[in-house]
A and B are shown apart, each in its own frame.
Chain A
Amino acid sequence: MKKNAIEHTRLLVLSLLVGEDMYGYQMIVELARRSNHTFDMKEGTLYPVLHGLEQEGFVEAYRQEAPSGRERKYYHLTRKGQGALREEKQAWERYAGAVNDVLRGGAEAEPV
């Protein structure tokens, strides 16, 4: 289950970086906003995920001044990362689809 949580965090982080480079705290805020606070992860666990993606070449990091005026470590989705995102997204959709099928099947079988 824990492994799944991390896998899903990877998928979420990769999709957050589509179209915009972000730093860690910004990602946490954005994730909470987009998921309506459903993903209440421990914030520190984001960083091992980011560093893992960086080691794999899915994201690149660079330091740049944030709107607050302070320098922050920004992450950028690489071409390789875009490919990984496509694959992970498809895998997730298959999984979610299968769960939905099971749930629908279960609901239909219930006596009215």
Chain B
Amino acid sequence: MTRQGFMDRVLLSLTRLTAEERENVRQELEEHIEDRMEVMLEMGWKPELAEERCLEAMGDPVEIGREMAKQYRGRGWLWLGRAAVLLTVVLCIQALLGVGILFNAWDSLEARVNPQMGSRLDWTESSGQVDLRMPMGNDVLRVFRVSVGKREERRVAEIAMCAYDRWPFGIVAYDWQRYVEINPPDAEAPYRSSNGRGSCGAEYVQTYVELEPGARSLVMAYERFGESQRLEIPLPEGGEAP
């Protein structure tokens, strides 16, 4: 048997190993034979005979290959284990995101059924629950309470509203407020506050509009992507200056 034939037989069983690992095994065995042959040649052996004796001393190449393959056998499970860990991490992240989606869906549902938000008026003259809805792209804007009262020494209307996606599991557009105006618009910027309520599922906002004496209603307008919507918001009865 030649050295090449010996190597080929060893490598026969090593199909599970990567090309690099197979090359490492081959190189290591070659080096062993090289070291041993060098000693034998120094002792005066003929090269062919020396190689033959070396290969004999190595043992059965098929057996060596089989034993070597066994050492790498557990690796299928190792990779499977790593894949399982990775999958678990991904699933955990998915589950956490899923929890977020559930909260969003809950907020979205609450906005449809029973929107709540505390008034921030310093003094309330009149207030009334309403249910006025205006489509706004994929979202819906719902006005659920209109109050008149004093805030920071000014007579204002407080419009409490919430926006939610038409689809219960959808999320509301983050910048919808930029496309909504309420008239009569304040000469200065209208007072707005988001009060820190809401999630991606529903967003609550209270807007304050300074009232002209004798005002009976406000008009809310939405304009975006060529879509125009208009919603009239009547002010609650008794909304006159005291």
A contacts, CB < 8 Å to B: 6, 23-25, 28, 42-45, 47-48, 51-52, 55, 68, 70, 72-73
6 contacts between A and B (CB under 8 A): A23-B31, A25-B36, A44-B59, A47-B28, A55-B74, A70-B31
Whether A42 lies near B28 (C-beta < 8 A) is no
* CB contact under 8 A between A48 and B31, given known A25-B36, A43-B57, A43-B58: no
Q: Give chain B's interface residue range (CB within 8 Å of chain A).
A: 20 to 34
A20 to chain B, nearest CB (A): 17
A41 to chain B, nearest CB (A): 8
Whether A45 lies near B59 (C-beta < 8 A) is yes
Considering the complex, give the chain B residue whose CB is closest to the CB of A52.
Answer: B71
Task: Tell me if B64 counts as interface (CB < 8 A to partner A).
Answer: yes
Q: Interface centre among A51, A55, A72, by most B CB within 10 Å?
A: A51
B contacts, CB < 8 Å to A: 10, 24-25, 27-29, 31-32, 34-36, 38, 57-61, 63-64, 67-68, 70-72, 74-75
Tell me how many residue pairs across A and B have CB atoms closer than 8 Å. 61
Chain A residues closer than 8 Å to B29, beta-carbon distance: 44, 47
